[in-house]
Amino acid sequence: MLDQTETSPPRRALRETARFHGSTADYWRLMIRGALLLMVTLGLYRFWLATDMRRFLWSNTEIGGETLEYIGTPIELLLGFLIAVALLVPVYGGFFVAALDLGVLGQISGVLAFLLLAVLGHFAIYRARRYRLSRTVYRGIRFRQTGSAWRYAVCAVFWWGMIIASLGLAYPWAQARLERFKMDNTFYGDLPGQFDATGWSLFIRGLPLWILVVGPFLAGLIVAVGWVDWAAAAAVTRQGGGDILGQIEGASPGFGAAVVIVTLAAVWAVLAAAFLYPAFQALTLRWWLGGLRLGTVAAASQLRTRQVYRAYARFLWYSVLFTLAASVLGGLALLVIGLLGSAVDTALGEILVTVFLLGAYVIAALAYSTIYQVTVRLALWRLGLESLTLSGTAALDRVKAVGRPSSSFGEGLANALRVDGW
């Protein structure tokens, strides 16, 4: 059976490639069942679903002829989450009280809360990665991660600040720095990880995309700013009164045209970003995979941009199909429920309709997310793996076991804070 046909290529060739054995149909089944259970358990099932998803993805991932294994359990995730909630409740309570303070504390409490949550979020991302790595087994040896999560969190918040301040231009260096931090602290047994790609190489590849998205927007903004007579507009605004926009247009004739230009520029930026996102994702993934090192083992990726576009096209197609089917069925159901309810009592009809719309919203959100997980996330996992060429894999035969499993607190914190990262 599979054994005979699939191991027939010489082991040598097998050792330099990665493959994914999972069938998309199985993943659909797993995700749809998971979505249904999430719905009826108000989301409590997510720890079980996350574990199922990882088991599926890990154990079907074959690297150099052997498959990965995920040994985490849902109960670990649930416990980590409960601990994180217990620790976060006093933090939230503190911010609630601080927000009531009318002095300086109350005014800056929003900013403080945002910063603290940003740091905690990245802390959680790092610790969650540690948990997942220590639950990843390959050839009977587990991965592990060292390093201070606090240092990572501060570093990450700093770099995200830089990304925002530079309108995204700092992104390549931020990614390179953070990825280096993660990989320098990653080990497979006694084999140390490393990240070899540079910010410059990502910058050069990504710059055309950045120019296409941000360039026209910035140009539009600059042109528009030049058209408005700011002194006159400020004077009018200070006077106040109804229809401020109309008054500004009266005082500074270029204002209306400027608003149109800025709106068009913003629409362009959003559309271009949406259309180019798969290309961006493909080149980032290629860059990231190509930078990964474990001892002398190195990876290179030949991921094709068009394959990523195909995954997104499939997402759009399934989403459209779902939307059509759901609108027809939902519309009919709404009609029946509304009529039935109103026949008894107007108020009852309204309540029924509201409850129905609420349920429809949840179903739609879960459905789109499920479609995305299967058509895009699973596809990217598969494409990323199958695009790999490995070198120096002889080192994988002589790895010694080191390390023990780590706690799931970080994962729980990430869950409580609603952050995700890998």
Partner 1 sequence: MTTGAGIYFDGETSARREVAVALAPETLVIMDARGDELAEWAYADIEHLPAPAHVLRLGLRGEPVLARLEIHDPAFASAIDDRALTVDRSGATDRRARTRVILWSLAATLSLVLAAVFVVPELAARLAPLVPAGVESRLGEAVDAQVRTMLDNRNLGDRLVCGTQAAERPGQAALETMVAKLTRAAALPVKLTVIRREEANAIALPGGRIYVFQGLLAKAESADEIAAVIAHEIGHVAHRDGTRAMLQAAGLSLMFGMLLGDFVGGGAVVIAAKALIQSSYSREVELAADAYGTRLMAQAGGDARALASILNRIEGERKPGARIWLDHPDAQARARAIHAIAPPGAGVPLLDAEQWAALRRICTD
Interface with partner 1 in residues 140-159 (CB under 8 A)? 140-142
Distance CA 336, CA 48 (A): 36
Closest CA to 171 of 179, 183, 180, 162: 162
Q: Which residues contact 374 (CB under 8 A, 6 or more apart)?
A: 24, 27, 28, 31
Strand stretches in 146-283, DSSP E: 186-188, 191-195
Q: In which residue are the tokens 């008894």 written?
A: 344
What's the CA gap between 272 and 399, in Å, rounded? 46
Where in 275-304 is the site for partner 1 (CB under 8 A)? none
Q: Which of 27, 48, 173, 288 binds partner 1 (CB under 8 A)?
A: 48
In terms of CB distance, is 60 or 281 closer to partner 1? 60
Residue 152's Cβ-count burial label (10 Å; 0-12, 13-18, 19+) is: buried
- In the complex, the smallest distance separating the C-beta of residue 132 from partner 1, rounded to whole angstroms, is 14
Binding to partner 1, residues 56-75 (CB under 8 A):
58-60, 62, 66-67, 69-71, 74
Tell which positions 256-275 bind partner 1, by CB under 8 A: none
> In DSSP terms, which residues pair with 137 in a beta bridge?
69, 142
**Residue placing its CB nearer to partner 1 in the complex, 368 or 381:** 368
| 326 is a site residue for partner 1 (CB under 8 A) | no
Query: Total residues contacting partner 1 (rule CB under 8 A)?
Result: 71
Residue 304's SS3 state is coil
Q: Which of 10, 226, 400, 422 binds partner 1 (CB under 8 A)?
A: 400
Contact between 199 and 225 under an 8 Å Cβ cutoff? The reply is no
For residue 22, state whether it binds partner 1 (rule: CB under 8 A).
yes
Q: Which of 32, 85, 162, 376 binds partner 1 (CB under 8 A)?
A: 85
User: What would you report as the CA-atom Rg of the chain, rounded to the nearest whole angstrom?
Assistant: 26
Q: Is 369 in the site for partner 1 (CB under 8 A)?
A: yes
Q: Does 418 bind partner 1 (CB under 8 A)?
A: yes
The secondary structure element, H or E, covering residue 195 is: strand 191-195
Q: Is residue 3 near partner 1 by the rule CB under 8 A?
A: yes
96, 114, 200, 230: residue in contact with partner 1 (rule CB under 8 A): 96
- Segment 173 to 212, residues that bind partner 1, using CB under 8 A: 189
216 binds partner 1, rule: CB under 8 A: no
Using CB under 8 A, which residues numbered 334 to 363 contact partner 1? 347, 350-351, 354-355, 358, 361-362
Q: How far apart are CA 372 and CA 314, in angstroms?
A: 9
